[in-house]
Amino acid sequence: MQSENRPIIEIKNVSKFFGEKTALDHINLTVNKGEFVTILGPSGCGKTTLLRLIAGFQTASEGSLCIAGKEVTQTPPHKRPVNTVFQKYALFPHLNVFDNIAFGLKLKKMPKPEMERKVKAALKMVGMTDYEYRDVNSLSGGQQQRVAIARAIVNEPEVLLLDEPLAALDLKMRKDMQMELKEMHKSLGITFVYVTHDQEEALTLSDRIVVMSEGKIQQIGTPTDIYNEPVNSFVADFIGESNILNGTMIRDGLVNFCGHDFECVDKGFGENKPVDVVVRPEDLYIFPVSDAAQLRGVVQSCIFKGVHYEMTVLCGNYELVVQDYHCFPVGDEVGLLVKPFDIHIMKKERTENTF
Ligand code: ATP
């Protein structure tokens, strides 16, 4: 299902303190109905705290939270129209698949025929139709996670919260489950809020990504926005590999870095101003050295990455990471080129020695 432009979660000015520690610092976020929103950031940035706040396992120290149009800042978890899927599947080991999924429905004293219909529908949704009487201990990690998702969707919550649900799976299973989650999201029509520290997973799954660092939101945007137009060097560095270089704006549309003047498209940074320059490894063209080169350097390393090679090239005092489908051997003298629109200029936020 497509997301609607109707807010389902509205987080306004929320902060969370644990003693002296500020885990969340003035968070403002609106999630629309049907959206797949991922909260992404390094360990300790506050993403789990934010998810737990939406779930109701934590309460905000400041600010307010609305879900489905109702103020729920102080509402306990079981009275919120949300369900959570955790990294550790948290299934009851002594119950079979059916009873694990039906657990919450039994507590609500749902009539048996309706309960059976709902459990079967949930199992179908996660692709485990014939598994209802299996012992959960006999299932693989991926199957257990599917049961956990079935349990979370069986009572049709408005919002499904997923806290690193694929983290315990091996790479192949993780990739398969990513595709399945995307499919499930489409067919269920439920809003997904997903927490991960894996940028590739966030880019693959999400309608929008919320990038966090140190309790603050750094950027909210679509995967392409976040990847192509990072607002600062933190986001650029966190989302995929980046060369982040010290530069000086000569004037609008002309920047100096690595000892060379480059045309760029950015404006409004002022003349002779220090800036951060971000260039993605795949945007640097590498070729045998020639007069066409903007930069010349010597290959320091070349690693095969599956589809492409990743090389480091020393240009004067600067080491740049470059990707190409060909390997340029260590010690080769090479030329580099970058197009003006692939040079991203950012306000200087780092101290000189940060990177
Ligand atoms: P990870 O990916 O490692 O789980 P995270 O981004 O989810 O990290 P949080 O678990 O939200 O981060 O924690 C944010 C900060 O708040 C961390 O510094 C953490 O130590 C702190 N914190 C979280 N819960 C508590 C708590 N109950 N008491 C004290 N400090 C806490």
At 227, which CATH number? 3.40.50.300
Mean pLDDT along residues 194-220: 95
Residues 220 and 248 reside in one and the same domain = no
Handedness of CA 290, 292, 296, 297 (dihedral sign): negative
pLDDT at position 352, please?
A: 47
For the segment 152-181, what is each residue's pLDDT rounded down to a tens digit?
889 888 999 999 988 878 888 888 889 888
At a CB cut-off of 8 Å and minimum separation 6, what does 160 contact? 82, 83, 84, 85, 149, 152, 153, 188, 190, 191, 192, 193
Smallest CA separation from ligand 1 atom 28, residue: 18
Domain count, the chain: 3
How are strands ordered across the β-sheet holding 7-18?
Answer: 21-32, 7-18, 62-67, 70-71
Query: Which of 20, 21, 24, 27 has most ligand 1 atoms within 8 Å of CB, for mutation?
Result: 21
For 183-209, what is the mean pLDDT? 93
Contact 255, 289 (CB under 8 A): no
Q: Both 87 and 229 in a single domain?
A: yes
The reply to whether 52 and 178 lie within a common domain is yes
212 exposure class (CB count in 10 Å sphere: 0-12, 13-18, 19+): buried
Query: Which of 45, 50, 57, 238 best tests ligand 1's pocket when mutated (most atoms within 8 Å of CB)?
Result: 45
Structural domain range at position 294: 285-337
Q: Poorest-confidence range of 68-82, 172-186, 278-292?
A: 172-186
Highest mean pLDDT among 126-140, 208-222, 282-296: 208-222
> Does residue 267 surpass a pLDDT of 90?
no
DSSP 139: S
Centroid of ligand 1 to alpha carbon of 60 (angstroms): 14
Minimal-distance CA residue to ligand 1 atom 14: 46
Q: Is residue 14 in some structural domain?
A: yes
Task: Looking at the structure, tell me whether residues 212 and 158 fall in a common domain.
Answer: yes
Q: Are residues 264 and 331 in the same domain?
A: no
Residues 221 and 262 in one domain: no
Atom of ligand 1 nearest to the CA of 24: 14
Does the beta carbon of 49 lie inside 6 Å of ligand 1?
yes
CA of 153 to the centre of ligand 1 (A): 26
68/207 same-domain check: yes
Checking if the pLDDT of 47 tops 60, the result is yes
Distance CA 89, CA 150 (A): 11
Percent of the chain with pLDDT over 90: 65
Residue 171 lies in a domain: yes
Same-domain check for residues 200 and 319: no
Share above pLDDT 70 across residues of the chain, in percent, rounded to a whole number: 97
Has residue 2 been placed in a domain?
no
Residue whose CA is closest, atom 10 of ligand 1?
Answer: 48
The whole-number average pLDDT for the span 306-324 is 93
Q: Are residues 320 and 179 in the same domain?
A: no
Mean pLDDT of the chain: 91
Which pLDDT does position 89 carry in this prediction? 66
Using the predicted structure, report yes or no on whether residue 2 has a pLDDT greater than 70: no
For ligand 1, say whether the CB of 47 is within 6 Å of any of its atoms.
Answer: yes
Structure tokens at 148: 């956990």
Q: Whose CA is nearest to atom 7 of ligand 1?
A: 48
46 lines ligand 1 (CB under 6 A): yes
**293 φ, ψ (degrees, to nearest 5):** -70, 135
Three-state DSSP class for 13? Answer: strand
Tell me which residue has its CA closest to atom 3 in ligand 1. 43
* Protein residue with least CA distance to atom 17, ligand 1: 44
Do 120 and 83 fall into the same domain?
A: yes
Hey, how many other C-beta atoms are within 10 angstroms of the C-beta on 335?
Answer: 19
Of all atoms in ligand 1, which is nearest to the CA of residue 45? 6
Residue-level pLDDT at 1: 52
In this predicted model, which residue has the larger pLDDT, 10 or 156?
10
**pLDDT of amino acid 216:** 96
SS3 120: helix
Q: pLDDT at position 355, please? A: 35
1: in domain:
no
Q: Is the pLDDT of residue 93 over 60?
A: yes
Q: How confident is the model at residue 23 (pLDDT cuts 50, 70, 90)?
A: very high
- Read off the CATH number of the domain in which 294 is found: 2.40.50.140
pLDDT exceeds 80 at position 101:
yes
Q: Give one DSSP letter per residue of 253-276, joined into a string.
A: TEEEETTEEEE-S---S-TTEEEE
Higher pLDDT, 89 or 30: 30
Cα-to-centroid distance, 345 and ligand 1 (Å): 32
Residue 185 CA to chain centroid, in angstroms?
Answer: 16
Residue 332 lies in a domain: yes
Q: Is residue 142 part of a domain?
A: yes
Decide whether any atom of ligand 1 lies within 6 Å of the 53 Cβ.
no
51 domain-assigned? yes
- Determine, yes or no, domain membership for 186: yes
Cβ–ligand 1 distance for 44 under 6 Å, the answer: yes
- One domain, residues 322 and 259: no
Same domain? 220 vs 350: no
Residue bearing the CA closest to ligand 1, atom 26: 18
